Structure 1
Amino acid sequence: MANVNKPKAPSMVDVAREAGVGLVTVSRVLNEPGVVRPETQQRVNDAIARLGYRRNDVARALKSGRSTTIGVVIAGSELFELPRILRGVESAAQEAGYWVNMASWQEGSSEQLVNAVERLANQAVEGVAIIADRPVAAAALEQMVSRIPITVVMSGELGNPSIGSVELDQELGARLATEHLLELGHRRIVHFTGRLSAYDARARLAGWQKTMRAAGIEDARHAEGDFLAASGFRLAQEILDADQRPTAIFTGNDQMAMGVLSALAQRGVAVPGEMSVVGFDDIAGSEYLVPSLTTIRQDFVALGRTSVEMLLGMLGGASAEHRYIAPTLIARASSGPPRVTSA
């Protein structure tokens, strides 16, 4: 049975009465505080605190047609840099005066992802940014149509012109790593890839291959790993037993580079004297490896910020587009010129 004696929540009328001001003044304090005298604003805020007034943002959004809220859908479980991406999303949203309303969608049907977006739209969000693991979400996003603007953070261009997208330029990162080694004088550069079912691994492999071919090296070798340190360790052991060792190893990520460094240390191979090593990602602590790891830094915070900035632009009438975030080379002690051997 309902409690008929439950006290009624205080309203703006109650706040106006408590503060001794008009209803319009209370509304201005809540929505346009800059136009109200400081002493009046303080009186209204004190009344709000005493009464415990909370404004109904949903009703306000329905009335104004604006919620100043964007939705964020996390689509997939293998989003390894999610905290940094979300930091960029939240900071960009807050700077623009927006709140963030989040939802999660794991691998399922396209209809389920559409439903997740529509649930946020029904909560009056003005647009949705999707942070997606490509194997999970790509097919679902291809045909998605929504009544609100959508951007997606995901590797690889999306064949849906209505959705804006942003990604880190994986091919460019691989090119920077390979060019760095070539400029040091290396020619025998092997690439240990990540799991080639992953888009990022394939893009990094393509960047390495194109750069090696541009340097006139057609017979460069690569071997597939799985982004884990153990695969870097195993592949390094195998390459050390080959008839002709490389002078440099470019790995699919820093975890694999850690495994490579361990295998080289175990076999007494000097780095970078006998073998240079370059990783990818610039994970926390990579500068404290022995030797400190040369790697490719990806700005995941900028990735999240750009997705929100693009979304806000679309809210202002801009067209959806695809953008790349450029990585940077961080040169450290694990890379150097190849050792010159006597004839």
Structure 2
Amino acid sequence: MNTKVTFKDVARLAGVSTQTVSRVTNNSGYVNEKTRAKVQAAIDQLGYVPNKNAQLMGRKKARVFGVITLNISFQGASRIVEGIRNESKKAGYAISLAVLDDEPDALEHAVRDMKSQQVNAILINAPIAREPAEQLIHDHAPMPFVFIDAPLDAQVNHVMADHRAGGRMAAELMLQQGRTRFAFLNGPEPSTAARLRREAWLDVIDKAGATLVAEETGDWSARSGYTAGAALFSRGQAFDALLIANDQMALGALRACREHRIDVPRQTAVVGFDDTANSEFFCPPLTTVRQNFLEIGHQAVTEALSCIQHPGQPPIKTEVPVELIERQSTAPIESPEIKAARLESLLSELKQML
């Protein structure tokens, strides 16, 4: 990007006055939509980044981290932001927060907005592929970036939970409990976290000779977990283990279990991932893999500070350990003897009722 581009260049390209450019970039005063669109197109074409601090002199001495995140209605995303905020405050930094929407180029626009605020570093908690991540660093050098959901082979600073270890823990628990027929409910395809968890699940069950019966994908939300769970059960393919890529989707899937009269964990055991604040209050309480969101936020700030203090250093890569939390959504599969005894007990109860 050409850092020498000025608002005069934008005005010349858009065919408007510099005052009009100022109104658009500061979102002040009336500008009709057609003119606003022309100015924005010129800004995008030239890669112009307005310096908002020229109007906000009081922020010249501020130390600020820009945080770009997924929708903070996702509990994991909100907790990571909390961890970043806590650690930033300890280091004497404020944060400026941007929540991504589904619009094209939303991330690029958010980065430009953060730069216009003269932030000291940008922390991104959103899925991004290797090439776009590396391109962002190239296009916006020397701005320090830290990513929280980028591929392991990307030459960028990144922090993440040990998703592979967590995926292995979940699948191995199911096998230890005698489960042999698996279904996956995975996260969105662009997410490195979702991909690593799925790869670990598949590796464990393949080595054990277990069967992957069915698979669906959600968008991390409880609603998508419910929809995907219902689709899995509607296929009529029996499975006794359901691995789910996060707890909010597990919440929706557990509702689908109830509606399809699936007894959890007797017929199908369920394991989530995250250990969000409400997971122990699901029905039944959810077995899950705990990732330390606050620590992920802490490590992201640590990496950002290191980049500021040591510009040009090699990329830093940090994996935060995870922990398996066993609750009532998993249990050893019933032996034929136990099943027979349970059926006999049920028949006895029915006879007494008659």
Report the TM-score when normalising by structure 2. 0.66
Q: Given the alignment, which residue of 122, 126, 130 partners 2:123?
A: 130
Taking a change above 3 Å as real, the CA distance of residues 110 and 97 of structure 1, as seen in their structure-2 partners, is closer
Matches of 1:325 and 1:303, distance apart in 2: 7
Q: Deviations over 1:194-214 (max 9, x none)?
A: 343544333222111011123
What are the residue-to-residue correspondences of 1:96-175 with 2, within 5 Å? 96-102=91-97, 107-108=104-105, 112=109, 115-121=112-118, 125=119, 127-135=120-128, 139=132, 141-145=134-138, 146-157=141-152, 159-160=154-155, 163-175=156-168
What are the residue-to-residue correspondences of 1:76-95 with 2, within 5 Å? 77=71, 80=74, 81-95=76-90
Matches of 2:249 and 2:111, distance apart in 1: 36
Q: Given the alignment, which residue of 329, 333, 336 partners 2:331?
A: 336
Taking a change above 3 Å as real, the CA distance of residues 143 and 261 of structure 1, as seen in their structure-2 partners, is closer
Matches of 1:272 and 1:76, distance apart in 2: 32
- Alignment RMSD, CA only? 3.1
Matches of 1:189 and 1:208, distance apart in 2: 10
Matches of 1:267 and 1:112, distance apart in 2: 44
Residue 323 of structure 1: aligned partner: 318
1:155–1:168 CA contact under 8 A, matched in 2: no
Deviation at 1:272, TM superposition (A): 2.0
2:217–2:228 CA contact under 8 A, matched in 1: yes
Residue 212 of structure 2: aligned partner: 220
Matches of 1:149 and 1:133, distance apart in 2: 16
Residue 251 of structure 1: aligned partner: 244
Give the letter aligned to residue 261 of structure 1. Answer: L
Matches of 1:211 and 1:74, distance apart in 2: 34
Deviation at 1:248, TM superposition (A): 1.8
Question: Share of identical aligned residues, percent?
Answer: 25
What are the residue-to-residue correspondences of 1:282-293 with 2, within 5 Å? 282-293=275-286
Matches of 1:90 and 1:195, distance apart in 2: 26
1:176–1:329 CA contact under 8 A, matched in 2: yes
Taking a change above 3 Å as real, the CA distance of residues 301 and 70 of structure 1, as seen in their structure-2 partners, is same
**Which blocks of at least 5 consecutive residues in structure 2 are unaligned?**
1-56, 341-354
Matches of 1:89 and 1:294, distance apart in 2: 27
After alignment, is 197-206 or 308-317 more displaced?
197-206
Matches of 1:156 and 1:78, distance apart in 2: 22
Deviation at 1:176, TM superposition (A): 1.2
Give the letter aligned to residue 235 of structure 1. Answer: A
Q: Deviations over 1:6-25 (max 9, x none)?
A: xxxxxxxxxxxxxxxxxxxx
Deviation at 1:139, TM superposition (A): 1.4
1:251–1:279 CA contact under 8 A, matched in 2: yes
Instruction: Determine whether 1:238 maps to 2:234.
Output: yes
Give the letter aligned to residue 154 of structure 2. Answer: G
SS of equivalent residue, structure 2 residue 289: strand
Deviation at 1:340, TM superposition (A): 1.2
Matches of 2:336 and 2:298, distance apart in 1: 49
**Which blocks of at least 5 consecutive residues in structure 1 are unaligned?**
1-55, 62-66
Instruction: Determine whether 1:188 maps to 2:184.
Output: no
Matches of 1:272 and 1:104, distance apart in 2: 37
Instruction: Count how many residue pairs are aligned between Structure 1 and Structure 2.
Output: 271
Deviation at 1:111, TM superposition (A): 6.1
Matches of 2:300 and 2:247, distance apart in 1: 26
Give the letter aligned to residue 68 of structure 2. Answer: I
Give the letter aligned to residue 71 of structure 1. Answer: F
Q: Given the alignment, which residue of 225, 231, 255 partners 1:229?
A: 225
2:122–2:143 CA contact under 8 A, matched in 1: no
Deviation at 1:306, TM superposition (A): 0.6
2:133–2:154 CA contact under 8 A, matched in 1: no
Give the letter aligned to residue 229 of structure 2. Answer: F
